[in-house]
Structure 1
Amino acid sequence: MIQRALIKKQRFMLSLFSALILLTIVIGLGIGYSSLSYDRLIPTFLGQGTFKEEFVLFSIRLPRIIITLLAGMGLALSGAILQGITRNDLADPGIIGINSGAGAAIACFFLFFPIKAGTFVYLLPLVAFFGALVTAFLIYMFSYNRNTGLQPVRLVLIGIGFSMALSGLMIILISSAERAKVDFIAKWLAGNIWGSDWPFILAILPWLIVLIPYTLYKANRLNLLGFSEPIAIGVGVSIEKERITLLLTAVALAAASVSVTGGIAFIGLMAPHIAKSLVGPRHQLFIPIAILIGGWLLLFADTIGRNLVEPDGIPAGIMVALIGAPYFMYLLLKK
């Protein structure tokens, strides 16, 4: 039974972060290399803007903002799932190598396979999912012990090793590639929001529409997986089955997100922790808040980064890392 006070607090936090997202969107729509005055936003939305205003709003700003928001939500939810199934507060798809696996698959696909403009956007999440899935399987296999089960600390260490190895592989792959393709992969590695057009929204949105409700449906299972294995088995949880299905969900969310944003870490680490500190560790309560926090964090980082240095700005992945790396060290020392 969840206390009514906690439910009220959850609703307040959902309203608060929804308002923060809306405020950040409005600020982000108006500032940038091609400025758009705030008093012209509503007329432009209603079709009463000039050609330049409509182009800046509908072809440049709005798609990028929506992509960033959706990707942040996906990464936050992926991190929450990984922390739940591994019982490790340091688990994050960027830290433990899942994002790097997706990136390596995208790099191979981009460099060595014929690309058709019409299908490239929609194939990227599938290619990223395949790479991330293979990586997650190998990390899980090396972290699992038949006698003691999944070892959380070992999972993080092996994941970091895979992440470094796969990043090195991508550098080797691009060392002999064409300059245009090298630029694309370099931007991906830096976490530059490169998929900033409407088709990329259609590529990532179905994954979130399906997997967010599924994860909320499985929230109680995640609560039970947080206990020790004997307790979870005692209440009737099929541990390996639930772990594998939820791991697939986390991998799919991370892969779909980074396929359009590039290699972004720490969102999946920070958002669940902040949400837990606000409403407690029950997944039914903190997951919806973590989703909004993840979307807002990435949107905020991208809005700040793209306006610090004109015209290209600082990649969102670097801005998030500037915040997330000290937070990771704090959690490492604390835990």
Structure 2
Amino acid sequence: MMSLSVVKKQRMLVVGISALILLTIMISMGIGYASLSYDRLLPTLLGNGTFKEHFVLFSVRLPRIIITLLAGMALALSGSILQGVTRNDLADPGIIGINSGAGVAIAIVFLYIPIKVGSFVYAIPLVAFLGAIITAVLIYVLAYSRRVGLQPVRLVLIGVGFSTALSGIMIVLISSAERSKVDFISKWLAGSIWGADWPFIWAILPWLVVLIPFTLYKAHRLNILGLNEDTSIGLGISLGKERIVLMLTAVALAASAVSVTGGISFIGLMAPHIAKRLVGPRNQLFIPIAILLGGWLLLLADTVGRNIVDPDGIAAGIMVALIGGPYFMYLLLKKA
């Protein structure tokens, strides 16, 4: 039974973080290499702006803002699921190698398989999902023991090893590729928001529309999976089936996000942790907060990064890593 005070606090936080997201969106729309006056934002949004204002807002700023927000939400939800399924607070799709698996699959298709640009936009989340799911299955199999079940610490260590190995494979793949294609893969590795156009939004949006409600529906099962193996079985949960379904969900969310933003880590680590500190560990309560926080964190990182250095700025993935890296080390030392 959830406390009414905690539920009330969650609702207030949802409203507060949503307001923070709207404020960040407004700031992000106005600043950049081609700045827009804030008093011209509303007229431009309503279709009364000049050609330049309309182009900057609708062709440059808004697609990037929306795709960054959606990707951050997907990564945060993916991390929330992984932490629940593996019972490991250090689990994150970037840290345990899932993002790297998606990246290698994207690199192979982009570098060596001829595909039309228009088709590539919508195919890339599926390609990323295929690479990510193969990686996730290998990590899960190696971390699982018939005697003691899934070993959380072993999973993270194996995942980190996979991430390093896959990064090496990525370097081998691009070493003999064309310069223009190498530039794209380099930006992907840095976590640059490269898919900043409307078609990419329609490519990622269906995954979130389906998988966010599905995860909230499964939140009770995630609470049970967070208990030990014997307790979960005693409550009548089919551990294998639920883990596979939820792992597939987490992989799909991570793959859809990194397919358009590049290799971004730590959002899936930080957002769930902050949310749990705010409203507690019950999934029904903290997941909505984590989703909003993930979107805001990545949007903030990208807004600051693209304006801190002219003209190209600093990739959002690097900005997130500057905060997330020390936070990961703090959690690692805390668990040691």
Q: TM-score, normalized by length of structure 2?
A: 0.99
Distance 1:173 1:262 in 2: 16
Please state how far the C-alpha of 1:115 moved relative to its aligned partner.
1.6
Match of 2:152 in 1: 152
Amino acid across the alignment from 1:84: G
- 1:125-162 deviation per Cα after TM superposition (whole angstroms, max 9, x unaligned): 00000000000000000000010000000000000000
SS at match of 2:231: helix
Distance 1:46 1:232 in 2: 53
- 1:233-267 deviation per Cα after TM superposition (whole angstroms, max 9, x unaligned): 00100001000000000000000000000000000
- 1:195-249 deviation per Cα after TM superposition (whole angstroms, max 9, x unaligned): 0000000000000000000000000000000100000000100001000000000
Match of 2:106 in 1: 106
Distance 2:14 2:329 in 1: 28
Is 1:285 paired with 2:285? yes
Distance 1:15 1:331 in 2: 28
Match of 1:72 in 2: 72
Distance 1:166 1:332 in 2: 22
Amino acid across the alignment from 1:68: T
Match of 1:196 in 2: 196
Aligned pairs for 1:53-92 (under 5 A) are 53-92=53-92
Match of 1:35 in 2: 35
SS at match of 2:310: coil
SS at match of 1:33: coil
Please state how far the C-alpha of 1:84 moved relative to its aligned partner.
0.1
Distance 1:15 1:302 in 2: 22
Amino acid across the alignment from 2:99: N
Aligned pairs for 1:267-286 (under 5 A) are 267-286=267-286
Aligned pairs for 1:161-240 (under 5 A) are 161-240=161-240
Is 1:120 paired with 2:99? no
Distance 2:50 2:129 in 1: 41
SS at match of 2:237: coil
Q: TM-score, normalized by length of structure 1?
A: 1.00
Please state how far the C-alpha of 1:333 moved relative to its aligned partner.
1.1
Distance 2:82 2:218 in 1: 13
Amino acid across the alignment from 1:77: L
Distance 2:31 2:60 in 1: 12
Amino acid across the alignment from 2:27: I
- 1:243-293 deviation per Cα after TM superposition (whole angstroms, max 9, x unaligned): 000000000000000000000000000000000000000000000000000
User: How large is the RMSD of aligned CA atoms in angstroms?
Assistant: 0.4
Distance 1:10 1:168 in 2: 42
Please state how far the C-alpha of 1:334 moved relative to its aligned partner.
1.2
Amino acid across the alignment from 1:255: A
Aligned pairs for 1:2-41 (under 5 A) are 2-41=2-41
Please state how far the C-alpha of 1:118 moved relative to its aligned partner.
1.6
Match of 1:252 in 2: 252
Please state how far the C-alpha of 1:117 moved relative to its aligned partner.
1.7
Match of 1:309 in 2: 309
Amino acid across the alignment from 1:186: S
Residue identity (%): 76
Distance 1:125 1:257 in 2: 8
Distance 1:133 1:239 in 2: 19
- Structure 1, unmatched stretches of 5+, are none
Aligned length: 335
Distance 1:334 1:235 in 2: 31
Amino acid across the alignment from 1:42: L
Amino acid across the alignment from 1:236: G
Runs of 4+ in 1 over 6 A off after TM superposition: none
- 1:63-122 deviation per Cα after TM superposition (whole angstroms, max 9, x unaligned): 000000000000000000000000000000000000000000000000010120221100
- Structure 2, unmatched stretches of 5+, are none
Match of 1:50 in 2: 50
